[in-house]
Structure 1
């Protein structure tokens, strides 16, 4: 296993921006391409995060169903459930879940697409790929 390239650190003053740690951890796991334990993740991240902070972030991502985990020794090894495109699609589905105004939301989404994205969406729907 080769060490992934460290993710860029997004900071606001001395603290990371909200959600930046989760993004850094997820990016490290995606670049690794193999499940990692919290200690391994800690080693791949820039800065000096404590082990307990890394465990907390991994647990939160697992709770959000973004990561899977399997036992490895006395710890868990974590891996993303899908690639970046799959995660974006999952987020889009979660926005629609439980909405009573789905048609309005989807209409506004489509209205905001670029011409190229609109053409691509029409093509995907017409070919049954979507």
Structure 2
């Protein structure tokens, strides 16, 4: 998974945070509170995000209403998977990652692992690692 560009991330962040469909105009107006950005630039990037499968859209009058196709958590998990896949020594990379986790994050990871164990699997995660 490729990391989102700066403007792509700004657009997605707003849509994730708002939790509702929004027009390009709404996104532009919100970004313009912090820095200037052209309507056509945001419209182009929203269309790119749509074509990449990050956004879905529906026509509302003359405007498109955009909303995320995937969650912020899906995006973050994809980045984490890619980082792990690129490591030559996965156990060492995982160890370094865990060593820098806060106690709160450690508890969240422990709870996530227990949830996965209760559900009886990891949807192919073992196949990715070559385990049986």
TM-score normalised per structure 2: 0.61
Distance 1:105 1:58 in 2: 37
2:26 is the alignment partner of 1:40: yes
Match of residue 114 from structure 1: 98
- 2:119 corresponding residue in structure 1: 128
Matched, 1:30 2:21: no
**TM-score normalised over the length of structure 1:** 0.62
Q: 1:66 aligns with which of 40, 44, 54?
A: 54
Structure 1 residues 105 and 42, CA, compared in 2 at 3 Å: closer, same or farther? farther
Moved over 6 A (4+): none
Alpha carbon RMSD of aligned pairs, Å?
3.2
Work out the CA distance in 1 between the residues paired with 2:110 and 2:116.
10
**Residue 55 in structure 1 maps to residue 43 in structure 2:** yes
Structure 1 spans left out of the alignment, 5+ residues? 1-17
Moved more, 28-37 or 106-115: 106-115
Residue of structure 2 in register with 1:13 after alignment = none
Change beyond 3 A, Cα 1:38–1:81: same
Q: 1:47 to 1:63 in 2, by over 3 A?
A: same
Higher helix share: 2
Shift in Å at residue 32 of structure 1?
2.0
Q: Runs of 5+ in structure 2 lacking a partner?
A: 100-105, 123-132
Instruction: Pick one of 83, 88, 91 that aligns with 2:71.
Output: 83
